[in-house]
Amino acid sequence: MLATISQRIRRYRTRLLMRSALSGGPLYRLLSRNAGDRFDNRAEGWDQMVGEHEYKWFDPLDAALDHIAPSLQPELVLDVGGGTGRAAYHIARRYPGAHVAVIDLAPRMLEFGKQRGRRENLPGISFVAGDSTGLPVTSSSADLAFILNAPVNPPEMARVLKPGGLVVLAFTYGHHTPMYLDEETARQALGRSGFVSIEAGTRGEGSWVAGVLGYVDS
């Protein structure tokens, strides 16, 4: 009984984190600081867990890219909230000509990803400390930004993407994913930040929502 109550509290806190990230502000900063501390202490275990589920972990992300932009050849890709970089290494293999940057607020997660990349001779990617509501990235510089099971701030995605750039929100286990946004909320949030051609879909247990940053008439 106590375990069930604890799980419900954690899920509520996580969903609140996701909602608060949409606009940023004091509540998000408080919740994200606590989340960063938790993930910092789980770097090795988290990386191992994702590796064990890799056969389906990236399904919704790949599904979105296959559907929305099968011929995309990005130069700069951002993995926002990417932790140890499992998804970034996956994407670097898909786009060998791109530079992929992992941005996360948990330093130990980033360091573990760097070490794993060196040990396993994985594709070169960069790891940068940062938060989804204030990315350390030049405005209008990225071709693709994706969020896999992590908080998203659509205005910041719109700032860092080039006009015509693609954002993908992907959730490995659909609505069962702890860090999850429902399709309607995601569509509305992206639309308010200037994204157009918003689509959504599923693959296996996962779900995704994606949009293209609209062009502004000069």
Could you tell me the pLDDT band of residue 216, with boundaries at 50, 70 and 90? low
Mean pLDDT of 155-177: 97
Mean pLDDT of 194-205: 97
Report which of 169, 162, 138 is spatially closest to residue 215, judged by C-alpha positions.
Answer: 162
In 105-184, at which residue ranges do the beta strands (DSSP E only) sit? 126-129, 142-148, 161-171
Per-residue pLDDT tens for 73-92?
999 999 999 999 999 999 99
Neighbours of 119 (CB within 10 A): 8
Contact 181, 77 (CB under 8 A): no
Mean pLDDT of 111-118: 93
Mean residue pLDDT of the chain comes to: 91
- Residue 1 reports pLDDT greater than 60: no
- Residue 178 reports pLDDT greater than 50: yes
Percent of the chain residues topping a pLDDT of 70: 96
**CA angle at residue 201 from 204 to 125, to 5 degrees?**
80
Contact 91, 77 (CB under 8 A): yes
Indicate yes or no: pTM above 0.75: yes
At the topology level, CATH places domain 2-213 in Rossmann fold (3.40.50)
- Residue 72 reports pLDDT greater than 90: yes
pLDDT for the residue 69: 93
Could you tell me the pLDDT band of residue 208, with boundaries at 50, 70 and 90? very high
Per-residue pLDDT tens for 103-113?
999 999 999 99
pLDDT for the residue 217: 57
pLDDT for the residue 39: 74
pLDDT for the residue 36: 65
Percent of the chain residues topping a pLDDT of 90: 73
Contact 214, 194 (CB under 8 A): yes
pLDDT for the residue 8: 79
